[in-house]
Amino acid sequence: MADPSAQATTTLDALPIGIDGLVVLVVYLLGIVGIGFWGRAKRKEESLSDHYLAGRELGFFVLLLTLFATQYSGNTLFGFTAKGYRMGYAWVMSVHAMTAVVVGYLLFAPALHRHSRDRNYITPADYLDDRFNSRAIRLVCALIMIFATANYVYAQLKVMGLAVGGLTGGRIDPIYGVVGLAVVMILYETLGGMRSVAWTDAIQGFLLLLGFTLLVILVMRQHGTLADAAVHIREHNPEKIAVPNATRCAYWFSMVLLIGLGASVYPHAIQRIYAAKNPRILRKSLKVMAFFPFVTTLIVLLVGLIALRAHPGLDHQSSERLLAIICGDLAGSGSLGYWTVIVILAAIMAALMSTADSALLSLSSMATKDLYGTFLNPTANEQKLTRVGKSVSWVVLALLVWLSSYEDLTLVQLLEVKFEVLLQVVPAFYLGVHLPRLKGGPVLLGMLVGLGLAITLLVMGIKTIDGVHAGVVALAANTLTVLVGHALGSRQTVAAPG
């Protein structure tokens, strides 16, 4: 989930997938479009709440699996396997980071869910505008979140193209792969909005869980257990099993904060909190989510560690292809392995599409409600806004598909700063629900200070300071600004006569 663009170089060209496997994958995609039609049939009215929040009626299983599929993207499978291979046992931090996302929800989701029902929020910035009575905060928050979600969709599209190109052995140009999958996505999203997206996410979430489970079982069967790998790692890569140094520990803390806080304020995640049918369903879903890292990121780490023994000596670039290499091993090991790889590939596609569709839907809602509906056409009614929202999805997706066809886009480097930027809205939400007297001025100032510092550090090429991410340093400055501003404001209020 973090750094999706880092995996844009991943290819699957090592996989010997036949026509039968490709047919299964195409049937799966057509089934997904079918769910789009189902979502349209279930539509109750042409309103923002129905289109973007499924009428606020998501039940337990759908909410759980859509939260899961949205948070665990294609990068969880590709990137985290490679990172586990390169970093070794210290990549246990990825399990902590994904757990931290749910801890983050605990700190603000309950209050936010109730306010969203009382006040009919559609977008994350609806809450901030209402809470702080500030259109400026709505504007800055919406721009930050639109940037972050556009980055997310773009990165998933890029990997989709490479995956399709690789799967077909280069017979299909990556851009046609991107266009094909984007058309599937936009079709079901336009047809049924959040209802279709959440239902397809549920199927994709199930496939992801199945893929993770099969992956670790077959990898252990083929390449030996973790105990075998540990003996090999201690002999050949002792630094990857030794207690990590102070800088690595600081990086560990920072990574947990970066992902835990950043992913908890993903706009599409916040909108799933809004869309929960009731607090009990939200509570049940989040309780289960708290344990998912142990059956997902931990499994991916184990696969990366076992691969250290099965495929030793891969350099950084080659290790990015580790999952493809492992799938290649499995596909050649008999029919069980072959069809498991098909499931894993469907899971990879599922992971890419479920993340991209959720982010795209969220982006469309923010562009429509926070920008168009607030600043450009405040008198537009719900039907008009919903129609505009659907058009925005098509235009934004077309633009991102077009951008994804460029190989060496310098914009890509800018897009990598997603989490660093997104983190700067954290104090507004977390402190907003816990400090009743907090005013909008310090929040806006803190957001701008954090944003400015994060961008400055990244433009200077400073990604970490003593292991701490630039975005986390900027978040500290942001939070400090908000708290100092709040304390000064409170003192003036107390001192003021009357």
Partner 1 sequence: MHPESDPKAKRLPIWFWLLMVVCLVFAVPWYRETGAQDPIVFGMPIWAITALVSGLGISVLTAYALHVVLQDEGEDPDG
In a 13 Å sphere around the CA of 440, the CA atoms on its Cβ side amount to: 16
Minimum distance from residue 160 beta carbon to partner 1 (Å): 32
Site for partner 1 (CB under 8 A): which residue of 44, 221, 236, 287?
287
Which residues in 349-368 contact partner 1 (CB under 8 A)? Answer: none
To the nearest whole angstrom, how small is the minimum distance from the Cβ of residue 302 to partner 1?
Answer: 8
Of the residues 87, 241, 396, 474, which one makes contact with partner 1 according to CB under 8 A: 241
Instruction: Provide, rounded to whole angstroms, the least separation between the CB of residue 283 and partner 1.
Output: 4
Shortest spacing between CB 151 and partner 1, in angstroms: 28
Map the footprint of partner 1 across residues 195-234, applying CB under 8 A. Answer: 225-231, 234
Q: Count interface residues toward partner 1 (CB under 8 A).
A: 60
Q: What is the smallest separation between the CB atom of 336 and partner 1, expressed in angstroms?
A: 24
Binding partner 1 (rule: CB under 8 A), the pick from 242, 462, 484, 488 is: 242
In angstroms, what is the minimal distance from the CB of 114 to partner 1?
Answer: 8
CB nearer partner 1, residue 179 or residue 229: 229
Stretch that binds partner 1, among 64-72, 248-256, 312-320, 344-352 (CB under 8 A): 248-256
b/e burial code for range 112-127 (CB count within 10 A of at least 16 → b): bbebbeeeebbbbbbb
Of 419-438, which residues contact partner 1 (CB under 8 A)?
432-437
* Shortest distance in whole angstroms from residue 99 CB to partner 1: 5
Rg (CA), the chain: 22
CB of 417 to partner 1, least distance (A): 25
d(C-alpha 415, C-alpha 260), whole Å:
20
Q: Among residues 126 and 329, whose Cβ is nearest to partner 1?
A: 126
Distance CA 1, CA 411 (A): 20
- Interface with partner 1 in residues 72-131 (CB under 8 A): 89, 92-93, 95-96, 99, 102-103, 106, 109-111, 113-115, 118-119, 127, 130-131
Query: Residue 276 pairs with which residues in a beta bridge?
Result: 58
Q: Can residue 257 be called a binding residue for partner 1 (CB under 8 A)?
A: no
Q: Which is nearer to partner 1, 242 or 462 (CB)?
A: 242
> Which C-beta is closer to partner 1: that of 45 or that of 239?
239
Residue 224 CB, nearest approach to partner 1 (Å): 10
Contacts of 269 (CB under 8 A, 6+ apart): 67, 70, 71, 105, 263
- Judged by CB under 8 A, the chain residues 292 through 321 that form the site for partner 1 are 293-294, 298, 305
- Residue 228, Cβ density class (10 Å: 0-12 exposed, 13-18 middle, ≥19 buried): middle
244 counts as binding partner 1 under rule CB under 8 A: yes
Q: Give the HSE-up count for residue 108: Cα atoms under 13 Å, Cβ half-sphere.
A: 25
In contact, 447 and 478? CB cutoff 8 Å: yes
CB 303 within 8 A of CB 219: yes
Sequence letter at residue 122: I
Asked if residue 290 binds partner 1 (CB under 8 A), the reply is yes
Q: How many residues are listed for the chain in this entry?
A: 498
Distance between CA 239 and CA 58 in Å, rounded?
A: 47
Q: For residue 53, state whether it binds partner 1 (rule: CB under 8 A).
A: no
User: How near is the Cβ of 98 to partner 1 at its closest, in Å?
Assistant: 9
402 touching partner 1, by CB under 8 A: no
Shortest spacing between CB 211 and partner 1, in angstroms: 22
Of 9, 133, 391, 456, which one interacts with partner 1 (CB under 8 A)? 133
In the numeric block, the tokens 């500030």 are attached to: 134
Q: How far is the CB of 425 from partner 1 (least distance, A)?
A: 17
Distance, CA of 346 to CA of 333 (rounded, Å): 19
* Residue whose tokens read 């499931």: 343
Residues 261-280 that bind partner 1 (CB under 8 A): 278-280
Query: Contacts with partner 1 in 463-492 (CB under 8 A)?
Result: none
- Site residues (CB under 8 A) for partner 1? 89, 92-93, 95-96, 99, 102-103, 106, 109-111, 113-115, 118-119, 127, 130-133, 225-231, 234, 238-239, 241-246, 249, 252-253, 278-280, 282-283, 286-287, 290-291, 293-294, 298, 305, 432-437
